[in-house]
Amino acid sequence: MNGVLLLSLQALVYFAVMAALLRARFAYGVGLFVCALGVMHFLETYLAAVFFIELPFGLLSPGSTVLFSGKMMMFLLLYIREDAETVRQPIYGLMIGNLLLVALALILRQHETLAPLPGYQADLRFIDQIGVLMIWGTLLLFVDIIALILVFERLMRLFRRQAFPALLVSSALVLTFDQLAFFPVLHWVTGIPFTALGGGWAAKMAAAALYSVFIAIYLRYVEPTERPAFARRRIWDVFDALTYRTRYEDLLARAAIDPLTGAATRSAFEDLRRKRLERSRIDPWPVSLAMVDVDHFKQANDRFGHEAGDEILAAVGRALIGAVRAGDRVFRYGGEEFVVVAERLDSEDAAALGERLRAAVADAFVGTPDRRVTISVGVATSTPGVGDLMATLRKADARLYEAKRAGRDTVIAGA
């Protein structure tokens, strides 16, 4: 009974820390989560090779039962909340790292003499064993994750988008396959007795149930935003997503940039609004919006011609992009209108940003006195943790028109 409680505690601590790192990805990036997975990979393989406990239902290793099962389930959670492209990167990284470990171990073997140390001698044979198990385990992990994604998505449709039964059944099936595929290699490399096959399987089924409960709670209370409905997908489609998604995302990124001004497009702004709405519960900080309009642009366009008008817009776009902070984004909202989105910026600093934008555009046309261009700016700041930014955008737009009525080349700001 004590062994079961310790295994359950280990699973709870593992999941709590990894889930916290996953949740923190919006503030700090997904690198924290991925690095933690990588660090645990060696411990997981080491324990699976040498650390076993005896329970009433058989022999088992916490490395395989708690850590590997937990890692696989965390990859599934990462997929649910991100995408297949994000999942494949740490898997490839683990594979390359394992191959590097084996290669370096082979080079170490070329040393003819080792310095004697009191009470200890380097065991390169053990490193060889661990290397084989890590490489085989990572290959299996790649197959496991592909299978887990496919089965989970199909079961989500079968269970009418109820996460817990889909998590439980998909993880139980894939962990059963993994146990049958990993144990023969483990037995061959380390001589672990066959009693660990049944005991390890039973423990992995218990781990599947426990982690399914944890993830279901996470999806319900920590990141409850729904993903789009799961589409029917064939196995080669999943491989395609894992292998070529980056190129598709790069194409979308290029398509989201206005070629004339260098600012992001309005569709990119709408996408940011949607993501902000999904993240509002875990990104509780204010967002400031600045609506920018080029003063008297129609007259300048009529006077100097459309080509000159394009040059003005291009110069305004460059000036705005050069005036914002790192991390702020500039969007061409339509015609001669731009929107600047500045996260974690209070109303006082947002007013200063508006003045900086106005001055930057004025300075950009100092060398062309016959074509002096100014902008009017309306600035508004949301309350911390607000979801939809449309109310803030409407307030900024209303202040933009106040600035125009005030004589243009003016910034009107406020909370």
**One domain for residues 265 and 165:** no
249 assigned to some structural domain: no
Residue 231: pLDDT over 70 = no
**One domain for residues 191 and 333:** no
pLDDT tens for residues 250-275? 555 556 888 889 899 998 888 888 77
**One domain for residues 236 and 270:** no
**One domain for residues 194 and 336:** no
**One domain for residues 97 and 203:** yes
How far is C-alpha 4 from the geometric centre of its chain's CA atoms? 33
**One domain for residues 266 and 235:** no
DSSP helix/strand/coil, 408: coil
84 assigned to some structural domain: yes
Catalytic residues: 336
**One domain for residues 172 and 106:** yes
Task: Say what the pLDDT of residue 229 is.
Answer: 39
103 assigned to some structural domain: yes
130 assigned to some structural domain: yes
**One domain for residues 187 and 292:** no
How many structural domains does the chain have? 2
Range of the domain at 356: 261-412
DSSP helix/strand/coil, 339: strand
**One domain for residues 227 and 275:** no
For the chain, what percent of residues have pLDDT higher than 90?
29
Task: Say what the pLDDT of residue 282 is.
Answer: 46
DSSP letters along 77-144, please? HHHHHS-HHHHHHHHHHHHHHHHHHHHHHHHHTT-S----BTTB---HHHHHHHHHHHHHHHHHHHHH
352 assigned to some structural domain: yes
221 assigned to some structural domain: yes
pLDDT tens for residues 345-379? 888 899 999 999 999 999 998 877 677 889 999 99
pLDDT tens for residues 301-347? 888 788 888 899 999 999 999 999 888 999 999 889 999 999 888 88
**One domain for residues 289 and 152:** no
Report the C-alpha gap between 176 and 134 in whole angstroms: 19
CATH of the domain at 406: 3.30.70.270
**One domain for residues 72 and 191:** yes
**One domain for residues 40 and 104:** yes
307 assigned to some structural domain: yes
Predicted confidence band at 227 (pLDDT cuts at 50, 70, 90)?
very low
117 assigned to some structural domain: no
Task: Say what the pLDDT of residue 243 is.
Answer: 44
pLDDT tens for residues 233-243? 444 445 444 44
**Cα angle: 151, vertex 210, 5; to 5 degrees:** 155
Residue where one domain finishes, among candidates 179, 208, 241? 241
